[in-house]
Amino acid sequence: GAVVSQHPSRVICKSGTSVKIECRSLDFQATTMFWYRQFPKQSLMLMATSNEGSKATYEQGVEKDKFLINHASLTLSTLTVTSAHPEDSSFYICSASAGGNSNQPQHFGDGTRLSIL
């Protein structure tokens, strides 16, 4: 149980394109989801905390107008990278909190490798 599906796993697109990444909790409801960014050989940096039905909470230094987060249901959160540029190329990982119903604090998706040409 507690599976998180992230889609797409890889995307390559031209500069200026907007890219949407989906994060779904398949077998549990997640009131809170998290979005991370990971540069090569570096750690996971939290970008924002996504709460169902309310605005996301962004970490300091993360542009909310650049990285749009929507958490419209208890099983789906989306991250849209607007007008993506090469410097936005990175590995993006989502996770979902199952709260007290899990032995883990967060269940992670398999990540999305974003490459902007």
**Interface ranges with another protein (CB under 8 A):** 31-32, 34, 41-46, 49, 51, 91, 93, 95, 97, 99-100, 102-106, 108, 110-111
Q: How far apart are CB 16 and another protein at their closest, in Å?
A: 27
Given the complex with another protein, which of 62 and 82 has the nearer CB atom?
62
Spatial contact of 98 and 2, defined as CB atoms under 8 Å apart: yes
Please state the closest distance from residue 70 (CB atom) to another protein, in A. 17
Report, in Å, the least distance between residue 83 CB and another protein: 26
Residue whose entry in the numeric block shows the structure tokens 């883990």: 104
Nearer to another protein, 63 or 110 (CB): 110
Measured from the CB of residue 97, what is the shortest distance to another protein in angstroms?
Answer: 5
Preceding peptide of 8 cis, ω within 30°? yes
Q: In Å, how far are 15, 55, 91, 101 from 84, measured between CA atoms?
A: 6, 22, 14, 37
Residue for token pair 């960014």: 37
Identify which of residues 70 and 82 has a Cβ nearer to another protein in the complex. 70
Choice between 18 and 104, CB closer to another protein:
104
Q: Which residue has the tokens 């996971």?
A: 44
- The radius of gyration computed from the CA coordinates of the chain, to the nearest angstrom, equals 13
In the 8-state DSSP scheme, what is residue 65? T
